[in-house]
């Protein structure tokens, strides 16, 4: 089954673009592309590479609803609906006709529309080509006609389906030309660099990133052995990363047997277990947090160790530095979002009309009750993402603390309250600015350490590439430019230009690499 080939990040962008195009309306309020011409998206790719995750992320970024089903968990009755007998009058003759109740899947779409107060969304059907023989015709009808049984998917809902190629799943079926001619088929391919860009932003454990950077061939692996099939997937690495953080927090050792629970290949699990032991050893020897924060006790010894280190050790240490920097940048960026939201709410508080005899504390209480009530409604109807919900709850807790400050300062009038809250905002801004400055200085210290121990070459290029591809790092550097980073970016640009020039000279001279 062929289709346009994409990595997982490109597939996500394609979903987002498709949602935007399919939900765009003309001046009369009609969909610019009529629903009859809105082809479903069909993602075909290996298991565990993140197809489900990108659909969820795309729905959140587009601000539309999402209903997701793994179709292999359903029977024909739950997908199509149950048969019922209806009386019909055909040309004066009463006859009994079989109809079907609304399927569970279509009903879930309408329930989402009602609960979330949305008219548009994504209906995601996973493992669509791995259904039983009794469901296969239903799935073909669904892709071709956008119906389950006799009930059509509501207008404004985009169909995204996903499945595995037959080489990865014995029960997977191929679609015929008639079906493929009615869908936008995308072949999602394994692409470690694309996954690493995502992983850097998600805070995947440094040991996982360092190991896979040195051995990208072990990122994804599936083999049919003599006995059970051995496999390694992106999902396995991400879940292992979460486990490593949790075990380290509780000071529980992670052995090869534990790693095998996530990395289902003895060779790769054993290899990573050995690397992880070395990684912990490197972390003790180098103290990356100390390097970033400017500790000088063992700085000379750390630099000498790094100069003499092998490639694996160097990449491991660089991933530790990158992990520490990314965490600091994410923390600053999230704190900035919180403070921006607090400033926005402070502006709304100041614009509230004054009520005769109302004390500042009462005014703040009414303001907070309205905020909390609005958040409860959004949460109950699932109109807010988990990330935004957490952020709003944090902001409201901060304002509850500000209310206590009003009591302590005995603020009575609106003017007194605004003076107290204005000072509170100024203090928060000063604290955050100091943290942002410290994060920038951490980056300069990392560059100073690497510049003193590395020559400009592939390892520094690796560090720069990983740094600039991390969404958190890129956003922080856009807000707070780094002199050292600017120097190295300029050097890399010159190197790229030289390589391109060499390539063109070779082509012009008829020389082959």
Mean pLDDT of the chain: 84
Q: 3-class SS at 146?
A: coil
The more confident residue out of 496 and 110 is 110
Task: Give whole-number Cα distances, 155 to 27, 105, 146, 187, in Å.
Answer: 18, 15, 10, 26
- Burial letters for 147-175: b for 16+ Cβ neighbours within 10 Å, e otherwise? ebbebebbebbbbbbbbbbeeeeeebbeb
Residue for token pair 């400009």: 456
CA 325 and chain centroid, separation: 19
Q: What is the mean pLDDT of residues 380-402?
A: 84
474: pLDDT strictly greater than 90: no
Q: What is the mean pLDDT of residues 432-461?
A: 90
Task: Give whole-number Cα distances, 164 to 168, 296, 482, in Å.
Answer: 6, 53, 44
Which residues touch 70 (CB under 8 Å, ≥6 apart)? 126, 127
Q: What is the mean pLDDT of residues 84-93?
A: 78
The more confident residue out of 497 and 280 is 280
Strands 93-100 and 83-90: antiparallel
Question: Other C-beta atoms within 10 Å of 333: how many?
Answer: 18
pLDDT at 316: 86
Condensed to tens digits (0 to 9), the pLDDT of residues 2-52 reads 568 899 889 999 999 999 999 999 988 899 999 888 999 999 988 888 888
pLDDT at 103: 72
Alpha-carbon torsion 368, 370, 373, 375, what sign?
negative
Condensed to tens digits (0 to 9), the pLDDT of residues 190-246 reads 888 888 877 877 788 989 988 998 899 999 988 765 445 788 999 899 999 999 999
Residue for token pair 């601000």: 63
Say what percent of the chain tops pLDDT 70. 87
pTM of full prediction above 0.75: no
Which residues touch 450 (CB under 8 Å, ≥6 apart)? 318, 321, 460, 463
Q: What element of type H or E holds 87?
A: strand 83-90
User: CA Rg, the chain, in Å?
Assistant: 28
Q: Where are the beta strands (DSSP E) in 50-127?
A: 65-70, 83-90, 93-100, 121-126
- Burial letters for 437-473: b for 16+ Cβ neighbours within 10 Å, e otherwise? eebbebbebbbebbeebbeeeebbebbbebbebbbbb
pLDDT at 505: 41
Condensed to tens digits (0 to 9), the pLDDT of residues 57-87 reads 899 889 898 888 877 665 556 666 666 677 8
Q: What element of type H or E holds 186?
A: strand 184-188
**Nearest CA-CA partner of 75 in 134, 149, 1, 139:** 134
Q: Which residues pair with 221 in a beta bridge?
A: 232
Distance CA 186, CA 8 (A): 10
Q: What is the mean pLDDT of residues 433-452?
A: 94
Number of helical (H) and strand (E) elements in the chain, helices listed first? 20, 12
297: pLDDT strictly greater than 60: no
Which residues touch 43 (CB under 8 Å, ≥6 apart)? 11, 51, 160, 161, 162, 163, 186, 188
Q: 3-class SS at 166?
A: coil
Q: 3-class SS at 485?
A: helix
pLDDT at 513: 39
Which of 98-102, 173-177, 306-310, 382-386 is the least confident region? 98-102
Distance CA 145, CA 180 (A): 13
pLDDT at 511: 43
Distance CA 42, CA 14 (A): 11
Check if the beta carbon of residue 293 is closer than 8 Å to that of residue 435: no
Q: What is the mean pLDDT of residues 268-280?
A: 94
**Nearest CA-CA partner of 106 in 41, 155, 153, 160:** 153
**Nearest CA-CA partner of 7 in 263, 196, 180:** 196
φ/ψ (deg, to 5) at 211: -65, -50
378: pLDDT strictly greater than 80: no
pLDDT at 270: 96
Condensed to tens digits (0 to 9), the pLDDT of residues 392-425 reads 999 999 999 998 999 888 888 888 999 999 999 9
pLDDT at 431: 97
Vertex 102 angle, CA 57 and 137, to 5°: 80
């Amino acid at each position: 089954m062929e289709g346009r080939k994409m990595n997982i990040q490109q597939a996500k962008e394609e979903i987002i673009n498709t949602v935007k195009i399919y939900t765009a309306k003309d001046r009369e309020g009609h969909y610019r592309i009529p629903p009859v011409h809105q082809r479903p998206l069909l993602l075909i790719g290996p298991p565990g590479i993140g197809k489900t995750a990108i659909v969820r992320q795309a729905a959140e970024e587009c601000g539309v609803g999402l209903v997701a089903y793994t179709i292999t968990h359903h029977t024909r009755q739950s997908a199509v609906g149950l048969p019922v007998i209806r009386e019909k009058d055909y040309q004066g003759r009463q006859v009994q006709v079989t109809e079907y109740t609304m399927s569970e899947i279509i009903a879930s779409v309408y329930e989402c529309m009602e609960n979330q107060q949305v008219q548009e969304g994504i209906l995601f059907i996973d493992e669509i080509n791995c259904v039983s023989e009794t469901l296969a015709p239903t799935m073909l009808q669904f892709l071709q006609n956008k119906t389950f049984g006799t009930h059509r998917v509501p207008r404004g809902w985009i169909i995204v389906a996903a499945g595995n190629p037959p080489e990865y799943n014995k029960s997977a079926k191929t679609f015929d030309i008639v079906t493929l001619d009615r869908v936008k088929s995308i072949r999602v391919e394994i692409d470690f660099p694309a996954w690493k860009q995502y992983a850097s932003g998600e805070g995947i454990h440094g040991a996982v990133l360092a190991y896979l950077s040195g051995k990208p061939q072990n990122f994804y692996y599936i083999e049919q052995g003599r006995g059970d099939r051995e496999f390694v997937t992106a999902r396995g690495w991400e879940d292992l990363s979460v486990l490593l953080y949790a075990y380290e927090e509780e000071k529980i050792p992670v052995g090869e047997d534990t790693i095998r629970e996530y990395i289902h290949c003895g060779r790769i699990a054993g290899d990573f277990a050995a690397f992880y032991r070395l990684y912990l050893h490197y972390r003790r020897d180098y103290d990356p947090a100390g390097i970033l924060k400017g500790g000088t006790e063992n700085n000379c010894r750390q630099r000498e160790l790094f100069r003499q280190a092998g490639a694996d050790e160097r990449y491991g240490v660089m991933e530790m530095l990158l992990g520490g920097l990314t965490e600091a940048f994410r923390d600053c960026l999230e704190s900035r979002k919180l403070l921006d939201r607090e400033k926005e709410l402070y502006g709304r508080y100041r614009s509230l009309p004054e009520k005769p005899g109302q004390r500042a504390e009462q005014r703040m209480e009414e303001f907070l009750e309205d905020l909390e009530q609005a958040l409860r409604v959004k949460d109950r109807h699932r109109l807010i993402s988990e990330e935004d919900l957490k952020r709003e709850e944090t902001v409201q807790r901060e304002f509850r603390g500000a209310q206590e400050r009003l009591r302590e300062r005995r603020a009575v009038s609106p003017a007194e309250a605004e003076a107290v809250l204005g000072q509170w905002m100024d203090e928060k801004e000063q604290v955050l600015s100091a943290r942002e400055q410290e994060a920038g200085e951490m980056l300069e210290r990392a560059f100073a350490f690497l510049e003193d121990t590395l020559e400009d070459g592939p390892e520094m290029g690796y560090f720069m590439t990983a740094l600039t591809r991390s969404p958190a790092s890129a956003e922080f550097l856009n807000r707070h430019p780094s002199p050292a980073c600017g120097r190295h970016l300029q050097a890399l640009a010159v190197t790229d230009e030289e390589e391109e020039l060499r390539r063109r000279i070779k082509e012009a001279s008829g020389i082959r690499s």
